Chain A
Amino acid sequence: MLTRRPPLRILIGYLLIPLALYVFAVFIPLITAAFYSMFEWKGGPNKTFTGIANYIALIQDKIFWLSFSHNLYLILLCVIGQVGVAFVFVMMINTRFVKLKSIHRTFGFFPSTIAAVYVGFIWLMIYDSRRGILNWFLELIGREDLTQVWLNNTDLVMTLVSIPLIWQYIGYYMLILLSATSSIDKEIFESAELDGANAFQRSIHIVLPMIKNTVIVCLVLCVSGNMKAFDNIYVMTAGGPGNNSMVLAMYGYKVSFAQQNMGYGSAISVGIFVLGLLVIGGMQLVSNKLSKD
């Protein structure tokens, strides 16, 4: 801290614009959402005060809770598929056997730098039933019986829209974990190698505790990132078929803009806010507990 404080007007001059902008874009909308969530409002000039009716509807709204369960499913798949797989890759890259390390870094990180919308388009082209690579490949290996209109499969669709997300971020978490292991003495990896068969298991027992805090950061990022899944689902399925790939942000968007139901859409936004804070807050609590041990 400075011992001589600058004049107050200078302080205000510096802080006013950034903070006003911040309040306008973050806090005013939050208050607005809380306000409009108590109205029946289709976006036009007329609105009717309905109290907590929207919230009662929200609690009973099966699609809302279905969307939430899809977010949770996405989180589960991504924790395993992104952070889990990234950890395995890091263990492999750290051995002396794996070559081309810098190529794996540069290429692996690349997908995480492009827009989720683009990733969605790319995978749309992969899943396409007539011109898609997936069906082309199945035909190539003689399993034509397995080809199908992938994104119309109501049982699989949620998993299919998760795969692009997983693929996009494996390299991202791989690089974060790699930076954490870079400070570990290389001899630890090598002594584990010399032991042969259970080398992998041993390195997990030795390495995992050493990078625990970074792993927790990755898990928190992964959970909060998937609570806001929207972009790639918007371009791939828009929540369909039916509501089989609906997630919270997509549902809020659909009700508010496609159905022009702004009042209920505001209530959903408040619902997303509360559920998001609960999940992320719960995650923080668990991670604080873990990192203390």
Chain B
Amino acid sequence: MAEKVYGMTTGRRVGNGVLTVVMNTIMIIFSLSCIFPLVWMFYSSLKVKREFNADIIGLPPNPTFENYAKILTNKDYHIADSLINSVRTTALSVALILLFGFVVGYILARVKFRGNRVIWIMLLMGMLIPVHSLLVPIYIVFNRTGMNNQWYTLLFPYIAFGMPIAVFLIHGYLKAVPVALEEAASIDGSSFSGTLFKIIMPICKPVMVTIAIIQTFACWNEFSFALVLLRDVGLHTVPLAMTQFTGQFSSDYPKIMSAMLITMAPIVVLYFGFSKNIIKGMVAGVVKG
């Protein structure tokens, strides 16, 4: 209905035409700028160094996967290692954030006990603390206890930093779940733990997915704590391995681009495969958190 009325006001058509072109152009330039680095890096990674230095923007004259082959086969680059480290660290951190966040969030939401508020405030403080003030002290503590530079080192900060938001999201979600459900289960003879994992956990699935999405990206991309806590190159996660790699080959752009694309691949595939759900999850986490 509104469109018909709109079409009839011929005087404004020209003005709207200009506006349409301007607005679409701005948005298209923005969208292209977001995706351009990925495209540019991909076709440039198919060049060799000499070809790239001669023409940084043109398409590869003789496309080759030489760079990829070298990076994946050369053990000294530690790119394959770093992928394994990142996958392991991210998977374990996210799984434990989900488990801990769920259990703590549930207990804080449903069980009345003396420490309830204290724990709540502690977690809230964790959300407000500027995490980078912990960078140096966490190194000192982990160094003292001999817990730095281990395969499990990063699990501690990642779980600790991810837990508060997970607890708050679970807590908020449970407000809409009636207690009568658990009371009924209890009358039917279900234990506390049984109710927790068999009845409540499946109900919380949507919010658990939100938490998993947010934390997967957060853990995979985290850099600064990995930087201070890990020394051995064999333990490095992806962002850390990349800083080493670029330092080593700072003049060979196609090689750097290939390594970047290889180590970005899991997250890029994940994003473009499930972009709708991922955006929804990230936004929900922000708006509700």
A positions within 8 Å CB-CB of B:
1-8, 10-11, 14-15, 17-19, 21-30, 32-33, 36, 89, 92-93, 95-100, 103-111, 113-118, 121-122, 125, 131-133, 136, 167, 170-172, 175-176, 179-180, 187, 190, 193-194, 196-197, 214, 217, 221, 224, 227-228, 230-231, 234-235, 248-249, 252-253, 256-257, 262, 265-266, 268-270, 272-273, 275-277, 280-281
B positions within 8 Å CB-CB of A:
2-3, 6, 9, 12, 15-16, 19-20, 23-24, 26-28, 30-35, 37-38, 40-41, 52-53, 56-57, 100, 103-104, 107, 110-113, 115, 119, 122-123, 126, 128-141, 156-157, 159-161, 163, 179, 182-183, 186, 192-193, 217, 220-224, 227-228, 238-239, 242-243, 246, 253, 256, 260, 264, 267-268, 271-272, 275, 278-279, 282-283, 286-287
Q: Decide: A131 near B56, CB < 8 A? Known: A30-B129, A257-B228.
A: yes
Assembly CA distance A122 to B228 (angstroms):
23
Most-contacted residue by chain B among A36, A125, A196 (CB, 10 A): A125
Query: Is B283 within 8 A of A176, CB to CB?
Result: yes
Q: Provide a sorted-by-A list of 28 A–B residue pairs whose CB atoms are within 8 angstroms.
A: A1-B112, A2-B111, A2-B112, A5-B112, A6-B192, A14-B103, A25-B160, A26-B161, A33-B136, A89-B27, A95-B23, A97-B19, A98-B20, A104-B27, A106-B272, A110-B35, A115-B239, A117-B221, A117-B242, A121-B242, A121-B256, A170-B30, A171-B34, A172-B282, A196-B15, A230-B223, A234-B243, A257-B228
Given contacts A24-B160, A32-B140, 20 further A-B contacts (CB under 8 A): A1-B111, A1-B179, A11-B113, A18-B104, A30-B134, A104-B30, A108-B34, A117-B242, A121-B246, A125-B253, A125-B256, A131-B56, A132-B56, A179-B287, A231-B224, A235-B243, A269-B133, A269-B134, A269-B136, A273-B129
Query: Is A115 within 8 A of B156, CB to CB?
Result: no
Assembly CA distance A100 to B23 (angstroms):
12
Query: Is A2 within 8 A of B179, CB to CB?
Result: yes
Assembly CA distance A121 to B239 (angstroms):
11
Query: Is A115 within 8 A of B223, CB to CB?
Result: yes
In the complex, how many angstroms separate the beta carbon of A217 from the nearest chain B beta carbon?
7
In-complex Cβ contact of A116 among B2, B19, B221 (8 A): B221
In-complex Cβ contact of A92 among B27, B110, B129, B287 (8 A): B27
| Residues of chain A within 8 A of B223, CB atoms compared | 115-117, 230-231, 234
Most-contacted residue by chain B among A93, A99, A121, A281 (CB, 10 A): A121
